[in-house]
Amino acid sequence: MKKIICLWSCPRNISTALMYAFAQREDTKVFDEPLYAHYLKVSGAKHPAREQVLQALENDGNKVVQEVILQKSEKLLFHKLMTHFLIGIDTEFLSEVMNIIFIRNPEEIITSYSKVIPNPKMKNIGVKQQYELYLSLEERGKTPIVLDSKYLLQNPELILSELCSLLGISFDEKMLKWEKGARKEDGIWASYWYKNIHNSTGFLPYAEKEITLTNSNAELAEECLPYYEFLTAKSIQS
């Protein structure tokens, strides 16, 4: 059976660390945000390295789905993706893949994201889209796995073991460690977003952060909270 994993993350999560973890498996090939150029073109979002991304990657999202995400391979395919990139794309392909919705506390997302792109909006951080994606997949009879980065960081081996079991693959202890530095699969945007992961050799312990958001950022966090609470209640926690 062809196994294709689509990780639907919010930004400023540890999705790159999870991609690095799967990259340690000899049976797996990983892909870093193949829909990024499509998103930038359709949304008009002004992200760092925008023009380089548009030139480096296929801009047609539906073409990316067919040629990259659903490509034939002898290996397990792991696609790191952002939920809010799913705009202007035929989502029928989601029934052909194994979907993971990867969440994070919205206060933590907004605190981190706003350091690079100030005053984010709901459409930028993907939390509502993750909630809507969950409901859509559930309605299709393809209920996704939900993974919360908090619980993953608190006990990487336990949560990854459970994740692999739900995916129908064996857990590999190699997923817990990687070499410091960049990977060949990194997108060309890595210099803007991947500093911490490039300095790591594994999942860092979870640390509670004292966060104080103000104005529009605080309002956005409050708006996101019900969606996050719904999803985290369904996440792998043991």
Residue 209 has pLDDT above 90, yes or no: no
- For the entire predicted model, the pTM comes to 0.95
Distances (CA, A) of 55 to 31, 89, 93, 212: 17, 20, 25, 38
> Could you tell me the two tokens for 71?
């490509």
**pLDDT digit string (tens) for 82-138?**
999 999 999 999 999 999 999 999 999 999 888 878 889 999 889 999 999 999 999
Buried b (16+ CB within 10 A) or exposed e, 32-53: bbbbbbbbbbbeeeebebbeeb
- Give residue 2's pLDDT band: very low, low, confident or very high (50, 70, 90): low
pLDDT of residue 122: 92
**Domains, in order of start, for the chain:** 4-232 (3.40.50.300)
What are all long-range contacts of 46-52, with beta carbons under 8 Å and residues at least 24 apart?
47/117, 47/189, 48/116, 48/189, 48/192, 48/193, 49/188, 49/189, 49/191, 49/192, 52/188, 52/189
CA angle 146, 207, 231 (to 5 degrees): 20
> Could you tell me the two tokens for 168?
């129908």
**pLDDT digit string (tens) for 144-156?**
999 999 999 999 9
pLDDT of residue 1: 44
Rounded mean pLDDT, 41-66: 95
Q: Residues 201, 175: contact at Cβ < 8 Å?
A: no
